[in-house]
Structure 1
Amino acid sequence: MMNIHDIAKLSGYSAATVSRVINCRKYVSDNAKLAVQKVIKEYDYVPNDVARDLSKGKTHNIGVVMPHTKHPYYTGIINGIMDAAFPAGYRIVLLPSMYNADVEMNYLNRLRRKAYDAIIFTSHGISLEDLVNYQTYGSIVCCHDPGNYKISAAYTERIDSYLAAFKWAKEQNVHDVSILLSRDFTLSATSQLTRKAFSDVFGHAPSNDLLRTGIVTYEDGYASARSLHENNQTPDMIFSNGDDIAAGARQFYLDNNLPVPMLIGQENQLSGQLLNLPTIDHNFHEIGRLAFELAISDETKQVSVESKFILRNQKDCSDS
């Protein structure tokens, strides 16, 4: 592949002069500019942007690791990152992982090889210890509370909003609550907080019979309601991990002329607004913006945003 040294030999001018011509710098004679441009045109030379960026110590690429995009958690964070990155002149590279630790380690090694200036982990299957160890190669930001680990993080404070939601449920004389989660308690800090809030309010752990995991879409919500019905389980309430998911569960009951349990959604989605569902807004767009700002900064710090339980009137939630 041709480089500026080849152009210098062919044009008869120095590599420094060639570089000035390519980058439209001053202090280049007309004769030199014409000679260099003639070689560039003849050999169809295109500058290597990657090499140029590396010479400057920056790629202006930020990698964003995400297991999938099916849940509004990820799309909300991505939208926040994109809205902050574009005016700052950065490119965002989406890195799918499906929680595969080997895949995520490969992304970390690409950070080590300077493919990205930083990586934001919206979630991860790899250990926090590994993330901390790789910070020497570039900025790494996670989107959950890292506890005592010294790593940059932007995350939402969830526990108070979960407590508020379950306290309201208890005030409605709810006893049997079906909880729909993306991941099991053993795998997800968010799921653990949900269980803790439920236990603190109701005085006992959630029922395993009423628990459903792997729930991320409207279709999953519909299927979870069908599963509950087929197992003769009739919860007073369904606490879902998304308004679209709650809407899916609701639709199963309506399609089968069954009473609709009380519903609580999350993420303040349009479906929840139209159905007047109580919901929890975790402000993921703001989390994405903050994660990007941390990624391009030279600081290692942790910032959090409060979530909010939004109570709406459910009187029309079971209408067809």
Structure 2
Amino acid sequence: MTGQTLESFLGFIFFQTFGQHGRELITSELAFRILSILSEEQFLPKKNGVTLNSTLDKLVIKLVPIENSNGRKRVEAGDLCERRNGRGVDLNRNWGVDWGKKEKDYDPSEENPGTAPFSEPETQIMRKLAISFDPHIWINVHSGMEALFMPYDHKNTTPEGLPSLKMRTLLEQVNKFHCQNRCMIGSGGGSVGYLAHGTATDYIYDVVRTPMAFTFEIFGDNQTSSRDCFKMFNPVDLPTFKRVLNDWSAAFFTIFKLGPLHLDENSTKSADKWVSIDEYLDGYLVERKNRYGKNMEVIDVGMQEIKTYFRLFLLSSVLLMFMFCSRIAKSKYGRNSIPVMP
């Protein structure tokens, strides 16, 4: 619904991103399966179409099927263990919350955070999309294990109070209905055995202030050698491939149905004026009301932009000084060349 006026729309907004790491090909396959169901090219087994459409009528869904296209190209060319983007940066370490911190087992071939927060074009675009779209529920989809994670990744804790309880309750329902209680639940930092700094989910929750922000891990073969990256992160036989897509596409539609039930009335969004994402990326302001009913304008100026503006300021100052000195020199030369009349 990007680019449309949503004056009369009151609903729940979902944002999902897939393919953030190049080697996790199965995540993008899931994205395409969800898109095919939304477009009614395929259908969910044991789901009533009328009921499903009734649920979807109340939602706005944005889906990015391949966030890291250059990393995926490297994998498709034979570098099956590559998770970084085309510039060698891990996109899930390039976000602004707790960026750049390195653990003792830091491996630059896996977790290179980049030269600065949002140094990569992919994370810059995703940040602008997230801020302008302002979702109620964000899901970042990965593979490598089976898990349903909530914030935080950079510390061994979850958010306090009611928000944490609501997120955990929703994840427990998904785990029961679709994982048969085999999926790990909790904070990413407290569940996987290591802390991750500069992740997308932590930024979306802490800075964008999305009420529910999750990281889903949809497949992992823990019996495989770490050198066999493709098999570790992707199903290699057709029955497993179909099972993963069927189970997790059904899980997403369960979240579409149950997610709004876990959010209170204050989380319902209204929009006075929306502009297209293209306009936003071209530098326009997105004027809207946030979930707390307060008018705001979104200007997303990061440190990279500030540094750029400062350099331009210095350059313009030097040019102005040069022009001023040149004018003085010309004026002085001109006065000396004019003969004095008797």
> Do the two structures share a fold, i.e. TM-score over 0.5?
no
TM-score after normalising by structure 1: 0.32
Structure of larger gyration radius:
1
When normalised by structure 2's length, the TM-score is: 0.30
Higher relative CO (CA 8 A, sep ≥ 6), structure 1 or 2?
2
